[in-house]
Structure 1
Amino acid sequence: MDPQQPTAAFDTHAHVFRQGLRLARERRYSPDYDAAVDAYLSLLDAHGLAAGVLVQPSFLGTDNSYLLEALGKAPERLRGVAVIDPRTTGEELDQLAESGVCGIRLNLISRPVPPLGGRLWQRLAHELAARGLHLEVQAQQRQWEELESWLLRWPGAVVVDHLGLPAAASLSYPGSAALSRLLAAQHVWVKAAAPYRSAPQAATAMLRNLLRARGGERMLWGSDWPWTRHEEGRDYGTALAWLTAEVSSTEAQRILCANPVRLFGWSARPRKVLDQGAAPA
């Protein structure tokens, strides 16, 4: 596939769940509504996107059964990012990969940074890399200082969630230098998603800074649907327009199309990408 040709567009960050699922004991949020995979697929169709990545929400912990069930409903259109115990075996990782899982999420919000240099995590790092599974990290501020040395040496791809959750529009705050060094590494990707989870205007400032520095290289976009804990006033079109208002057509092609195909291994089918600034359907 020629990445310069118009291709399918991809949403690389969304969540699905329903009421009644077993929730993690340690959680910051308990949803009181359903976010069904059929509803998500309908949103992709309505906005001209070919496929999406479902990320295990933190409140479901390491029970990925509903995620895997959702992936099974549209395996040609969906990939998954699971949450696992670091003691997960290679055989269990194989089963996840066969079910459509392409990465593992490490969500460190309100949690301590684990000992990534320890034997358990180093074994897992190499098991993930051997299977082409990336590590997706959600962290903030000084946590990036603790993570930096290990993530720079991570043997596989690393994806920084939500632009690293920048804490100030100035992009100068505790941990910002470590995050910048990480984002410069060739094996580190970043998701432009959920600007409302960062300090006011900080995510847009970070997006613009990264676009100036590398023109969308190793950048992905995610809708963050259904915007848990930030649902009021949100809609899918606005989430997409936040990106398209800031990028050129070449950058949109890279972020929405070529980069997801490269990282997630999709076979893209022809579909014109949204023109710069075009209003979503």
Structure 2
Amino acid sequence: MANSSMNDAIDPLRPVDVVPAKMPSPPAIPLPLNACDAHSHVFGPYDDFPFATASSYPPPLAPAATYLAMLDTIGARRGVLVQPAPYGTDNTALMAALRSGVGRIRGVAVVNGDVPDEGLHRLELSGVCALRFNEMPSPQTGKPFAGSVGLDAALALASRMKALDWHAQVWARCSDVPAITEKLDRVGLSVVFEHMTCFDPSLGTGHRDFQNVLALIREGRIGVKLALCRVSKLPPHYQDLRPFHDLMVEANARQLVWSSDWPYVRMGDAAPDVGALVNTFDEWVTDASLRHTILVDNPARFYRFDDWTARHIFRKGNPCH
């Protein structure tokens, strides 16, 4: 025990005291064929995939096999994995999970602006189709989260991302969404914003920041992930978000994808049940055609599932075999 404690102290990148990932219950109504959870993360196993930087939260144990079991339980045939900050620009765990998904999973990686072309090519072959950029400061320090990469890297990478038909995924404050969109527009990059654009529900739907987001959705200039748990002040039913969610769907359902944010880092006992989140979505979006658009059609288009499968999964020597 003493040796273990000493090792923990000198090697914070290989976590020992981890939090088990919360597994879901099946949703009340089965998801449609090829439904996609468009935002989750994998963590571990840490002997194989230590962190690149010390984590600012108790790390979950959520390896690829556990993640795939989560998708199976909720009935999602497809998923999108997003590189979490503690892994920094070491996308090894993400790439391994994509390979284990055999074309079922697409990835959103993190790289620096000077990444070599060979590194981007390896990511693309593994199933990566977007890069993540973080403009959300840590609430503890007011500085960028350790391991994150900011928007300047997106501007530096724009021409190479366009050549690969990749988009930018951005975690940012709602008030910053218009300016970020303009910057990415100028370099020809499409953008998807995480966590419903992180608006403050206490300000109401009429606040200019949320109205600006609605205008950008309506114009088809941004995509948005409908993930409730990071924005709502009223778990587990999230009724404070219902008016915002309704207005986003009304503005332009073709620009929205549904996501769980599993396995819920920094949430502790407030972590939701993914099956219950699916139930909430079904209660809020009652039209079957709209549900199919958001759960199936949009993620297939945003993350090019069919296109990538046709080009890669049957290619001889592809790492997804």
- Which category describes the TM-score, using the shorter chain as reference length? 0.7 to 0.9
Determine the structure 2 residue equivalent to 1:76.
103
- Counterparts of 1:210-221 in structure 2, within 5 Å, are 210-214=248-252, 216-221=253-258
Q: Contact between 1:9 and 1:256, CA under 8 Å: does it hold in 2?
A: yes
Structure with a larger share of its residues in helix: 2
1:108 aligns with 2:135: yes
Deviates more, 1:140-149 or 1:240-249: 140-149
Determine the structure 2 residue equivalent to 1:266.
305
Distance 1:99 1:157 in 2: 21
Task: Give CA deviations for 1:214-273 in whole Å, capped at 9, x if unaligned.
Answer: 2x21210111111111242521201212222111211110001111111212239xxxxx
Task: Give CA deviations for 1:87-135 in whole Å, capped at 9, x if unaligned.
Answer: 223332121111111110012221469564xxx6434112111101111
Q: Contact between 2:217 and 2:251, CA under 8 Å: does it hold in 1?
A: no
Displacement, 1:185?
4.0
Determine the structure 2 residue equivalent to 1:38.
65
Q: Contact between 1:58 and 1:107, CA under 8 Å: does it hold in 2?
A: no
Aligned residues: 257
Determine the structure 1 residue equivalent to 2:277.
239
Task: Give CA deviations for 1:118-153 in whole Å, capped at 9, x if unaligned.
Answer: xx6434112111101111001014333542421333
Structure 2 CA distance for partners of 1:222 and 1:156, relative to 1, 3 Å: same
* Aligned counterpart for 2:92 among listed residues 65, 69, 72: 65
SS of corresponding position for 1:52: strand
- Counterparts of 1:5-16 in structure 2, within 5 Å, are 7-16=33-42
**So what's the TM-score if we normalise by structure 2?**
0.72
**So what's the TM-score if we normalise by structure 1?**
0.82
- Counterparts of 1:38-57 in structure 2, within 5 Å, are 38-57=65-84
Determine the structure 2 residue equivalent to 1:23.
51
Determine the structure 2 residue equivalent to 1:182.
216
Structure 2 CA distance for partners of 1:262 and 1:69, relative to 1, 3 Å: same
Determine the structure 2 residue equivalent to 1:272.
none
Deviates more, 1:16-25 or 1:98-107: 16-25
Distance 2:170 2:240 in 1: 19
Measured on the aligned residues, the alpha-carbon RMSD in Å equals 2.5
* Aligned counterpart for 2:293 among listed residues 232, 245, 254: 254
SS of corresponding position for 2:68: helix
Q: Contact between 1:219 and 1:259, CA under 8 Å: does it hold in 2?
A: yes
Structure 2 unmatched ranges of 5 or more: 1-31, 138-142, 234-238, 308-321
Deviates more, 1:56-65 or 1:142-151: 142-151
Distance 1:236 1:124 in 2: 34
Q: Contact between 2:205 and 2:243, CA under 8 Å: does it hold in 1?
A: yes
1:163 aligns with 2:196: yes
Distance 1:210 1:53 in 2: 21
Distance 2:100 2:151 in 1: 36
Distance 2:57 2:248 in 1: 31
Distance 2:53 2:244 in 1: 34
Structure 2 CA distance for partners of 1:154 and 1:220, relative to 1, 3 Å: farther
Distance 1:267 1:144 in 2: 29
1:253 partner letter: H
